[in-house]
Structure 1
Amino acid sequence: MSKAEFRTEGTYAPDKLIAGNAHLLVGRKVTIVSGQNLTRGAVLGKITASGKYNLSLSGASDGSQTPDLILAENCDASSGDKVALAYARGDFNANALTLGTAHTVASITEGLRAKGITLIPAVAA
């Protein structure tokens, strides 16, 4: 009979991105378009022509100007497209999000709420 062995796989550092009940989270795999290095909590927009995602910028004109998902994990797609997990539903701390140029929490709140993503402004990050 062998003995049980315990190992450390990594460390957990709470980032306060999730602001509600974790059992309500819905995630899905998406492709992050090449040329970006995004962190967990980035607000993503979908590029209409390719179906890929990038950081939503208010001034974009390719469809990605409309916030759609929240990145669930860090994703370095600097050298090529990369598949990552993103949240499609849940409650999130607005102070823990990474917003693209010209977006504000106020400007994205209602659009995300219609998709099932609620931004909670009162949680300190």
Structure 2
Amino acid sequence: MTVLVETRHPGEFILSEANGQRSREAITIASGAGIIAAGTVLGKVTASGKYIASAVGASDGSEVPAAIAIYGADASAADVAVSAIVRDAEVNGKCLTYHADRDQPAEKAAANTALATLGVIVR
């Protein structure tokens, strides 16, 4: 028997957001970032202004969470434009995806605190 695994749906993590979808912004996932799942916590690379998964060990600006991807994307070979939550929203923390090196509870809590400074509250 074949086992089917359902992945995250676009926007599944959003609990509430500002009127007029003011919480959203069009962003660019940087080429080479690989496959980004819906609900991935992203950081902004200072030099390019593009986004990649926010890694604790990064030193290019992306270590600071700055957005959450609403849709999944494959940025393995080219830049990809997606919508992201960047301000004034409440999100379900159980539906977020963090970079693999952000695996400790304290690291995830720090990411959630950084998102809170943007007005993105992780519940």
Superposed CA deviations along residues 88-116 of structure 1, whole A, max 9, x for unmatched, are 12100001001012254312122111101
Residues 109 and 34 of structure 1, relative CA distance in 2, 3 Å threshold? same
Residues 80 and 93 of structure 1, relative CA distance in 2, 3 Å threshold? same
Residues 16 and 80 of structure 1, relative CA distance in 2, 3 Å threshold? closer
For residues 22-33 of structure 1, the aligned pairs below 5 Å read: 23=19, 25=21, 26-33=23-30
TM-score, structure 1 normalization: 0.78
8 Å Cα contact 2:10/2:70 also seen in 1: no
Between the aligned partners of 1:86 and 1:38, the Cα distance in structure 2 is: 12
Segments of 5+ residues of structure 2 without an aligned counterpart are: 1-8
Segments of 5+ residues of structure 1 without an aligned counterpart are: 1-12, 121-125
Q: Where has structure 1 moved over 2 Å in runs of 4 or more?
A: 13-16, 19-25, 102-105
Between the aligned partners of 2:39 and 2:18, the Cα distance in structure 1 is: 15
The CA RMSD over aligned residues, in Å, is: 2.0
Residue identity (%): 36
Residues 71 and 14 of structure 1, relative CA distance in 2, 3 Å threshold? closer
Which of 49, 52, 59 is the equivalent residue of 1:51? 49
